[in-house]
C-alpha cells in the first residue's frame, strides 16, 4: 500500500496485513511454538495466549477464487468463509495446529463442519456464542470458556492457571490501550495516520505474538508523534460494518478525498474500546463478561441495538465525523437489518449515510470510486 509514514514498524505491519504467512509466525514456529486459527472477534484470545499458543485470526487474504470451496458452499453463502476455506483447501493454512470456530453466524458454523470433515488440522473446536448480552448469557459463555480451557489443556498438554489467564488479560489489555492511543491520533484536524494505514496496523495485531506487536506499536506511536498529519481531505468519514481486513478498500475511499477517521468494525473499535477487568476475582468470568456484555456489540447480539446506536453517535462526536459508510458483506442478514436501523438513526441527527454492499475480495473498484465521489458531493464536500 502507498504510505507517507517513514517507520520500520509500520512497514512490518503493512507486510503482515498483506499476506497470511509472515516472518513473526515463521519465527514462532521455528522456536517450537504452536498456532491456533480462530474466526470472529468474540473468541477469547486471552485463553489461547495463556496456553502458550499464538492466536491467528482467519482471513482469505490473497485468495483469487473459490473453485475448491464451491463444492461445499452455495453461491448465496457469504464470500468470506468461501474464500477462507478455499485457501485452507489449497494448503495455505497447513501451518495451523488448531482451529477455533464460533457460532457467530450460520456461514461460519459451516466452516467448522467442512473443516473437520475434510482437513487434518489436529485440534478443531466450535464454541457456542449466546445471542443476548444479559447476565444469564455471561454465565453461559463462562462455561463455554471453561470447556475451551479444559480441551486446550488436554490436547496441548498445558496448564492454564488463573495466574496465566490474568497475565494474558494484562498483555491483551496493553494491546488495546496502545491501539486506542493510535486512534487518538485521528481525532484532531490533521490526523497522523490514515484509515487505510490504521486498518493495516489493526489486522497485523491479529497475526503476530502480542509482545512483538505491542513493541512495534509503541515504536510506531513514537514515529507518528513527529508527523505533520494528513491535511488534504474533503470530509471526515466513519466506516460501520463487519469483516473488513483489506486496507485497499479504505485506500480507495481515501483517494477520493474522504478521510476515514474512525470505525465500528470487528478489526477496529469493537475489539479494543474497553479493557477486560484485570481486578476480577475470577478471570474466566471477567473474559465472559467482556466478550458478551462490556465491549461494543455487533448485530448478532439481539436487543442491544440502542446501545450500539449510542456508541456510534459518541464516535461521531468524538472524531468529528461528517458522514458514515455502512459496509456490508453480501448475504449478511445481520448487517442488512442493522444498516436499515442505522440509516433511520443517522437521519434523525442529520448525519449523511451510505450503504455499500461488497464481496469479500475487492472488486468493482470503479463503481466504489464513483459512489464515494457522489456521496461526498451530496454532502457538499
- The domain limits of the chain are 20-160
Q: Using pLDDT thresholds of 50, 70 and 90, give the confidence band for residue 42.
A: very high
CB 88 within 8 A of CB 119: yes
Q: Which of 282, 311, 317 is nearest to 138 (CA)?
A: 282
Segment 141-192, tens digit of pLDDT: 999 999 999 999 999 999 999 999 999 999 999 999 999 999 999 999 999 9
C-alpha torsion sign, points 245, 248, 253, 259: positive
Give the β-pairing of 98-102 and 34-38: parallel
Q: Using pLDDT thresholds of 50, 70 and 90, give the confidence band for residue 298.
A: very high
Q: Which of 49, 15, 280 is nearest to 149 (CA)?
A: 49
Report pLDDT for 21.
Answer: 96
CB 191 within 8 A of CB 320: no
| Mean pLDDT of all residues in 262-275 | 97
Give the β-pairing of 323-329 and 53-57: unpaired
Report pLDDT for 228.
Answer: 87
Q: Work out the angle between the directed axes of helices 365-378 and 247-255 (0-180°, nearest 10).
A: 50
The full length of the chain comes to: 381
CB 115 within 8 A of CB 85: yes
Q: How many CA atoms lie within 13 A of 128 on its CB side?
A: 11
- How far, in Å, CA of 240 to CA of 319, rounded? 14
Report pLDDT for 69.
Answer: 96
Q: pLDDT > 90: what percent of the chain?
A: 91
Opening angle at CA 149, ends 144 and 150, nearest 5:
100
Choices 3.30.470.30, 3.40.1800.10, 3.40.50.11890, 3.10.450.50: CATH for 20-160: 3.40.50.11890
Backbone angles phi, psi at 273, to 5 degrees: -70, -30
Kindly report the number of other CB atoms within 10 A of residue 185's CB atom.
18
Report pLDDT for 381.
Answer: 75
| Mean pLDDT of all residues in 214-240 | 95
Q: How far is CA 333 from the centre of its chain?
A: 19
Report pLDDT for 313.
Answer: 97
Residue with cell 485506500: 251
- How far, in Å, CA of 213 to CA of 171, rounded? 11
| Mean pLDDT of all residues in 96-116 | 94
Report pLDDT for 344.
Answer: 95
DSSP bridge pairs for 98? 36, 123
Amino acid at each position: 500500500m502507498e504510505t507517507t509514514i517513514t517507520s520500520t514498524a509500520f512497514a512490518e505491519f503493512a507486510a503482515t496485513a498483506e499476506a497470511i504467512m509472515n516472518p513473526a509466525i515463521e519465527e514462532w514456529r521455528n522456536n517450537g511454538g504452536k498456532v491456533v486459527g480462530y474466526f470472529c472477534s468474540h473468541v477469547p484470545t486471552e485463553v489461547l495466549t495463556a496456553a502458550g499458543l499464538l492466536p491467528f485470526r482467519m482471513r482469505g487474504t490473497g485468495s483469487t477464487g473459490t473453485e475448491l470451496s464451491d463444492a461445499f458452499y452455495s453461491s448465496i453463502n457469504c464470500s468470506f468463509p468461501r474464500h477462507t476455506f478455499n485457501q485452507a483447501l489449497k494448503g495455505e493454512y497447513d501451518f495451523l495446529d488448531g482451529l477455533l470456530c464460533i457460532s457467530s453466524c450460520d456461514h461460519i458454523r459451516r466452516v467448522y463442519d467442512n473443516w473437520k470433515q475434510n482437513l487434518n488440522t489436529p485440534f478443531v473446536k466450535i464454541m457456542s456464542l449466546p445471542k443476548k448480552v444479559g447476565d444469564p448469557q455471561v454465565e453461559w459463555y463462562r462455561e463455554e470458556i471453561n470447556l475451551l480451557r479444559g480441551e486446550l489443556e488436554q490436547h496441548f498438554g498445558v496448564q492454564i492457571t488463573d495466574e496465566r489467564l490474568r497475565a494474558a488479560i494484562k498483555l491483551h489489555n496493553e494491546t488495546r490501550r496502545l491501539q486506542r492511543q493510535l486512534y487518538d491520533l485521528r481525532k484532531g484536524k490533521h490526523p497522523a495516520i490514515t484509515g487505510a494505514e490504521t486498518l493495516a496496523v489493526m489486522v497485523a495485531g491479529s497475526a503476530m505474538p502480542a509482545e512483538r506487536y505491542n513493541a512495534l506499536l509503541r515504536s510506531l506511536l513514537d514515529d507518528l508523534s513527529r508527523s505533520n498529519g494528513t491535511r488534504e481531505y474533503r470530509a471526515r468519514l466513519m466506516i460501520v460494518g463487519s469483516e473488513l481486513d483489506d486496507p485497499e478498500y479504505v485506500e480507495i475511499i481515501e483517494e477520493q478525498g474522504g478521510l476515514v477517521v474512525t470505525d465500528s468494525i470487528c478489526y477496529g473499535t469493537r475489539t479494543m474500546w474497553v479493557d477486560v477487568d484485570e481486578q476480577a476475582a475470577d478471570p474466566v468470568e471477567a473474559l465472559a463478561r467482556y466478550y458478551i456484555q462490556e465491549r461494543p456489540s455487533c448485530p448478532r447480539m439481539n436487543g442491544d441495538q440502542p446501545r450500539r446506536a449510542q456508541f456510534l453517535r459518541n464516535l461521531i462526536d468524538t472524531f468529528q465525523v461528517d458522514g458514515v459508510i455502512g459496509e456490508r458483506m453480501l448475504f449478511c442478514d445481520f448487517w442488512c437489518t442493522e444498516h436499515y436501523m442505522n440509516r433511520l438513526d443517522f437521519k434523525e441527527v442529520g448525519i449523511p449515510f451510505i450503504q455499500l454492499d461488497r464481496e469479500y475480495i475487492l472488486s468493482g473498484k470503479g463503481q466504489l470510486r464513483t459512489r464515494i465521489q457522489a456521496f461526498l458531493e451530496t454532502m457538499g464536500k
